[in-house]
A and B are shown apart, each in its own frame.
Chain A
Amino acid sequence: MKMAERTLDGGRLPLLFIGSVTALLVTPVLMIVLQAGADSGDQFRHLASTRLPDYVRNTLWLALGVASTTAVIGVGTAWLVTLLDFPGRSFFRWSLLLPLGIPTYLAAYAYTDLLQFSGPVQTFLRTTFEWTRDDYVFPQIRSLTGAIAILSLAYYPYVYLAARAAFIEQSVCVLEVGKTLGLGPWRRFFRIALPLAWPSVFAGLSLVVMETLAEFGAVDYFAVDTFATGIYRTFMSPVPHALTSAAQLSALLLLPILLLIAAEAFARRRARFFHTSVRYRAQPPERLRGWRAALAVTTCAVPILLGFLVPTVFFVRAHLRSGDSSSIAAFLERAQNSLVLATVASVLAVALALLVTFARRLEPSWANRFLTRIAGLGYAVPGGVIAIGVLIPLSWLDHKIGDLADSWLGISTGLLFTGTIVAVVYGYLTRVMAVSLNLVQAGLTRVQPSLDAAARTLGARPRGVLRRLHLPMLRGSLIAAGLLVFVDVIKELPATMIFRPAGFETLAVRVHELASQERLYEASTGALAIIVAGLIPVAILARTLDRARPGTDTDPDDIPIGAETVT
């Protein structure tokens, strides 16, 4: 059944609202594009003839490598825990999310320390077998392959979440039809389940790709030159046109991102269907035995082991050996700052995303669809660049307000935004709105438009539809969105660094300070705190997920995440 084009008429208000939110969120990106138009001398030509080919090649391979690896891990594990039964299945169902709490740069530090030439693993090999550097070949962790591995382990949960929600949602009837038609489990997966889940999986993958393009810390640490590291290098170089050249590189990076957004919209449009059957029976999971069960357990255990356990144990050991020597009070203050900022940012991000997607549903015009698509653009732009993009309009506003107050009231306001928490949170929102928009949008699409119509027929105003129908039905999606934003913000660095008030520190800032002085062991305390802070939302998310048993008679109060079933 195709979605009805215009479900509810909300007048011009939706366009106005979506327009202003998008404008707010996209301004920083636009500022960078504008800056790119400035004169950079010969800088760009120089970059194009020396470094750019490397940037393009590495970025491409990295994005392809991470996308395909996360697709395999994410979809594979989601399929296993949703449709098959094996020992530990319910444990894996939530613990597969754990790597989400580990910032990629921390995983990179840990693995480098463990696997580099002077690290314990290779040193052990050398001393045990009395080898020198010429006697053996050990895969270089600081490499493109290493970066693909680390990023894939960190980002596969995005795909896992999306794929799992999609698999849960699939009515068992469809798969049973496949069974009666004589399809084996593999072909049922590839010919029915995967195509049906594809729009969801693609949404998860596009988040992964955007994160990968913007990824700086781990990639730089691994000595892989991508667009993001090139932008940083150019921006940081002590030459006159540094900002403009960096902006030009960033603008170039936006092109493939716009393509990606268009492709995603296309994929969703092609495959926008609602399940026709209202029957929603429990899918009896197929029980695996013997080597098959062992294989399933291994498949689920390896990503958790490598993506979560190894780095966590590394930092616990480092912390116990030589943690941060600053006072407990200072540490608690940093932790509090991090948590408060993350909470504020995630509540705002989810509220805005809900309102924007709802407004779009009221008035799904071409303009509104386009605007909501590009509102998340900032996600794919490296954080440091976005921070400058936020700085330009904010400081302009500061000066305008200051001048006005001075000429009209004769008072000096100073700088109202730059150097305050407001600027920090604005920076976060421009970065992470893609996550909340993406999840809330996915959730809302699954609420059948006829329900809205029914509610309106029964006399509900648009606000009532939102409050009494969508809000309860979307609860799972909203929680998921908020928690993913929370995790992202806890790890955020560049916007915090540049806008924070004097003396204001977060856990991520502290870890960066110590790590930039190459004091990794002391950074372990902060690193561990970031991991723990990231675990809380993951645990909540896991609990929400776990209540989402496939096919239970769904009580509207107990909607599984991303699986607002059609009842």
Chain B
Amino acid sequence: MIKRLILLIACFALALACASPEAPSSDTESQADSAPATDQVVNVYSARHYDTDEKLYAAFTDATGIDVEVTEADSAALLERLAREGDQSPADVFVAVDAGRLALADSRDIFQPTDSEILNQRVPENLRHPDGLWFGLTKRARVIVYAKDRVQPDEISNYEELADEKWRGRVVIRSSTNIYNQSLVAALIDALGEEATEAWCEGVVANFARTPQGGDRDQIRAIAAGEGDIGVVNTYYLGQMIASDEEADREAAAKVGIIFPNQGDRGTHVNIAGAGIIKSAPNQANAVKLLEFLTEEEAQRIFSDGNKEYPVVDGIAPPVELEPFGSFKDDPVNASVFGSNAQAALELMDRCGWR
């Protein structure tokens, strides 16, 4: 509390001090110089914005002496920047939070293949590119959540049933602008075909309790408050809410249960956060070291404990918060399908009016 008050005062004071017209400008300009091209650095373009990632990179620097320079931005913007920078780019590694994006990056031919025994052995085959262009680092399952007081867990057991008439006006989910929904639909197209998926999409849209809005946490909150009865969210959002400092978030999380869909057939849709090495990477060897480090137990633990994502590497415990929900079978389809079906998925959702 005192720390926060100090912060509050400090920001007032600083703002006042800097309001004078002659604020220094030259010293930040010098920071703009690109990172030194020694072999002691690796440049990461990342579309992940998690505080725990800083911990990961710091651990890597501790272990190897290699500095990690991170540029974070939205993945579309980063890809555009990479394309324009071309062979002059300082980037070594591109990190994204969705396989669809990695596939898109691949279609622009920005990655070089990496043949690392460590990576091939640790990362399951369906969660990496067949030629080693990118590798999954964490898993995130997209699951069905339900209001414990209004829905019995046996009332729904797979994604297909979200379109059932009995859920009319009861389903909450975020916008189709969201990449996680795009990838889910892309996976459904792979499993059911485009026509059946479109019919499914129309059913789901008819079942919406409200216009798709907010993020995954907002869907959990809406179910807890009674605005909808079932929803679709990524697992780590629930994990983070269970572990939250906010009492309201913990209470909301306690009111919902998880169903891992399609356990009877193909398995639950899982997506990955992953990374690949840039073709022109000036520090290629360091980049390989970084990817290998990120699949080591220490790093996988940070992903799991810090951000509540599922580790990709077998034998490392899932986040404590998600343990009560048990283990599950994931859909073994190769994640690159999310990229190749992305356009069809997007257009299909546009047609059936999924905002």
Docked-complex contact A388 and B351, CB < 8 angstroms: no
State which of B25, B89, B224, B227 has its C-beta within 8 Å of the C-beta of A133.
B227
Residues of chain A within 8 A of B32, CB atoms compared:
419-422, 501, 504
Interface class of chain B by DSSP? helix
Docked-complex contact B216 and A328, CB < 8 angstroms: no
Docked-complex contact B1 and A494, CB < 8 angstroms: no
CB-nearest residue of chain A to B23 = A343
Bound state CA distance, A312 and B5, in angstroms?
15
Residues of chain B within 8 A of A123, CB atoms compared:
225
Comparing B9-17, B133-141, B158-166, B309-317, the segment that makes contact with chain A is: B9-17
Residues of chain B within 8 A of A415, CB atoms compared:
34, 85, 88-90
Docked-complex contact B6 and A328, CB < 8 angstroms: yes
Bound state CA distance, A415 and B71, in angstroms?
15
Docked-complex contact B7 and A328, CB < 8 angstroms: yes
Is A237 part of the binding interface, using a Cβ–Cβ cutoff of 8 Å?
yes
Residues of chain A within 8 A of B73, CB atoms compared:
497-498
Residues of chain A within 8 A of B215, CB atoms compared:
518
Bound state CA distance, A504 and B342, in angstroms?
32
- Known contacts A319-B8, A336-B14, A418-B84; is-contact A51 B350 (Cβ 8 Å): yes
Comparing B43-51, B117-125, B297-305, B323-331, the segment that makes contact with chain A is: B43-51
**What sequence of 0s and 1s flags, for each residue 318-343 of chain B, a beta carbon within 8 Å of any chain A beta carbon?**
00000000000000000000010011
Docked-complex contact B175 and A223, CB < 8 angstroms: yes
Docked-complex contact B85 and A517, CB < 8 angstroms: no
Residues of chain A within 8 A of B19, CB atoms compared:
339, 536-537, 540
Is B28 part of the binding interface, using a Cβ–Cβ cutoff of 8 Å?
yes
- Known contacts A118-B224, A239-B104, A503-B70; is-contact A50 B88 (Cβ 8 Å): no
Docked-complex contact A237 and B29, CB < 8 angstroms: no
Bound state CA distance, A332 and B43, in angstroms?
25
- Known contacts A117-B225, A320-B1, A503-B70; is-contact A238 B88 (Cβ 8 Å): no
Bound state CA distance, A516 and B75, in angstroms?
13
- Known contacts A117-B225, A502-B70; is-contact A516 B49 (Cβ 8 Å): yes
Bound state CA distance, A337 and B7, in angstroms?
17
Residues of chain A within 8 A of B25, CB atoms compared:
340, 343-344
Is A395 part of the binding interface, using a Cβ–Cβ cutoff of 8 Å?
yes
B142 CB to nearest chain A CB (Å): 16
A526 CB to nearest chain B CB (Å): 9
CB-nearest residue of chain B to A526 = B11
Q: Which of B180-212 contact A (CB under 8 A)?
A: 182, 211-212
Residues of chain B within 8 A of A497, CB atoms compared:
72-74, 77
Is A322 part of the binding interface, using a Cβ–Cβ cutoff of 8 Å?
yes
Residues of chain B within 8 A of A525, CB atoms compared:
4, 7
Is A235 part of the binding interface, using a Cβ–Cβ cutoff of 8 Å?
yes
Residues of chain B within 8 A of A122, CB atoms compared:
225
A219 CB to nearest chain B CB (Å): 12
Q: Which of A293-339 contact B (CB under 8 A)?
A: 316, 319-326, 328, 331-332, 335-337, 339
Residues of chain A within 8 A of B245, CB atoms compared:
322
Residues of chain A within 8 A of B85, CB atoms compared:
395, 398, 415, 418
B313 CB to nearest chain A CB (Å): 24
Docked-complex contact A46 and B350, CB < 8 angstroms: yes
Is A521 part of the binding interface, using a Cβ–Cβ cutoff of 8 Å?
yes
Docked-complex contact A498 and B81, CB < 8 angstroms: yes
Is B246 part of the binding interface, using a Cβ–Cβ cutoff of 8 Å?
yes
State which of A112, A132, A324 has its C-beta within 8 Å of the C-beta of B226.
A132
Residues of chain A within 8 A of B264, CB atoms compared:
none
Bound state CA distance, A123 and B226, in angstroms?
10
Residues of chain A within 8 A of B12, CB atoms compared:
532
Docked-complex contact A421 and B29, CB < 8 angstroms: yes
Bound state CA distance, A528 and B15, in angstroms?
12
Interface extent on B, as a size class? Answer: 35 or more
- Known contacts A142-B213, A494-B77; is-contact A343 B18 (Cβ 8 Å): yes
Docked-complex contact A320 and B4, CB < 8 angstroms: yes
CB-nearest residue of chain A to B338 = A238
Residues of chain A within 8 A of B343, CB atoms compared:
237, 239-240
**What sequence of 0s and 1s flags, for each residue 235-263 of chain A, a beta carbon within 8 Å of any chain B beta carbon?**
11111101100000000000000000000
A114 CB to nearest chain B CB (Å): 13
Residues of chain A within 8 A of B224, CB atoms compared:
118
Is B94 part of the binding interface, using a Cβ–Cβ cutoff of 8 Å?
no
CB-nearest residue of chain B to A384 = B77
Is B69 part of the binding interface, using a Cβ–Cβ cutoff of 8 Å?
yes
A344, A501, A535 interface centre (most CB from chain B within 10 Å): A501
Docked-complex contact A391 and B11, CB < 8 angstroms: no
Bound state CA distance, A339 and B27, in angstroms?
13
Bound state CA distance, A384 and B33, in angstroms?
24
Docked-complex contact B34 and A340, CB < 8 angstroms: no
Docked-complex contact A419 and B182, CB < 8 angstroms: no
Bound state CA distance, A529 and B18, in angstroms?
13
**What sequence of 0s and 1s flags, for each residue 26-67 of chain B, a beta carbon within 8 Å of any chain A beta carbon?**
001101111100000001000001110000000000000000
Is A456 part of the binding interface, using a Cβ–Cβ cutoff of 8 Å?
no
B111 CB to nearest chain A CB (Å): 15
State which of B6, B15, B78, B88 has its C-beta within 8 Å of the C-beta of A399.
B88
Bound state CA distance, A51 and B343, in angstroms?
15
Task: Please report B residues at the A interface, Cβ cutoff 8 Å.
Answer: 1, 3-8, 10-12, 14-16, 18-19, 21, 23-25, 28-29, 31-35, 43, 49-51, 69-78, 80-81, 84-86, 88-90, 98, 100-101, 103-104, 107, 175, 177, 179, 182, 211-218, 221-222, 224-227, 237, 245-246, 252, 339, 342-343, 346-347, 350-351, 355
Q: For the A-B complex with A238-B100, A316-B8, A419-B32 known, give 17 more contacts whose Cβ atoms are closer than 8 Å.
A: A117-B226, A223-B213, A238-B103, A243-B76, A319-B7, A328-B6, A331-B7, A331-B10, A332-B14, A340-B18, A340-B24, A343-B21, A395-B84, A415-B34, A498-B77, A501-B32, A518-B216
- 7 shortest interchain CB distances as A-B pairs: A118-B225, A395-B84, A223-B213, A502-B69, A50-B350, A420-B32, A339-B18
